Amino acid sequence: MKNSLQSLFEAINQAQNEQELRSRVVPKLGEYFVTKKSGVFFFDQLAFIDRKLQKTFQTALSIEHNPVARYLVERHAPVHEALVTSPKVWSMICPRPDHWHVMAGPIVSHGQLVGAIGFTREQTMTAFDAQDLADLSALCLHLSIWNATVRSQYKPAKSDACGGLRQRLTPRELQIAELVALGYTNAEIGKELWITENSVKQALKRMFRKLEVSSRAEMVAQLWKDKKRSSPTAEQSNLILNT
């Protein structure tokens, strides 16, 4: 049975972290819109992906290169490719057959575009229409509220925010530690940061040696104690979630 908009609103509201949003909610959104692919991303994560992939993302999201991205940036409103360009031009911009039809919606915070959710359909599938845009607009409102009230609570901390043990880790290692604290597996961390699962394993080994710990739980506990000691008045960071 197809999900209703109300059930999707509730699913977004119940997501406790970004992992749940991606694994439980986004697939339901993809099913609702009958898409080939669906995904959500936040711009503050671009700094943590590999340089080659980062360049690819920046090209794909360039407002000069991509009229869909330009529409999102300028209007903060859902858009599909037929709204901003012709099929012939779009096929030159994005020739992939599984991206023949594209729809994207904004995630907004304090008047700024902070992320987006996107959907694609193959060439043989029907194009997105005005009703799809209207439904996505309603969903984006809930995603923006979720971002402001839930994701902001565990937004990755800057690497120079705390001293002590945290200074022993690189910004990438801190990002990995924070995802570990959220309950992510090595495979999920790799997918989130656009690196291989083996790269995550090797990074964790280095982190354990630097921090002189022998387990993920011990690492999270030590880093949280160090953060709390260094910043006693700061709000709790994501390192205490799901531990």
Write out the DSSP string of 126-170: PPP-HHHHHHHHHHHHHHHHHHHHTGGGGPPPPTTS--GGGGGS-
CATH fold of 5-153: Beta-Lactamase (3.30.450)
With CA atoms as reference, report the closest residue to 143 among 169, 113, 165.
113
pLDDT of residue 10: 95
pTM equals 0.63
What is the H or E stretch that residue 2 is in? none
Q: How many CA atoms lie within 13 A of 210 on its CB side?
A: 18
Other CB atoms closer than 10 Å to residue 173's CB: what's the count?
Answer: 18
pLDDT of residue 51: 53
- pLDDT lower than 50: segments of the chain: 47-50, 53-54, 56, 156-163, 231-243
pLDDT of residue 1: 54
Sheet with 101-109: list strands edge to edge.
37-42, 112-121, 101-109, 79-80
pLDDT of residue 2: 64
Contacts of 173 (CB under 8 A, 6+ apart): 203, 206, 207, 210
**Residues 223, 177 contacting (CB under 8 angstroms):** yes
CATH code, 156-240: 1.10.10.10
pLDDT of residue 58: 52
pLDDT of residue 240: 27
**Residues 140, 72 contacting (CB under 8 angstroms):** no
CB burial of 196-208 (b: ≥16 within 10 Å; e: otherwise) equals eeebbeebbeebe
Residue with tokens 């710990």: 213
Per-residue pLDDT of 35-55, as tens digits, reads: 999 999 887 765 444 455 445
pLDDT of residue 100: 94
pLDDT of residue 160: 39
Domain boundaries, the chain: 5-153, 156-240
Angle separating helix axes 216-230 and 197-211, nearest 10 degrees: 60
What is the H or E stretch that residue 41 is in? strand 37-42
pLDDT of residue 62: 65
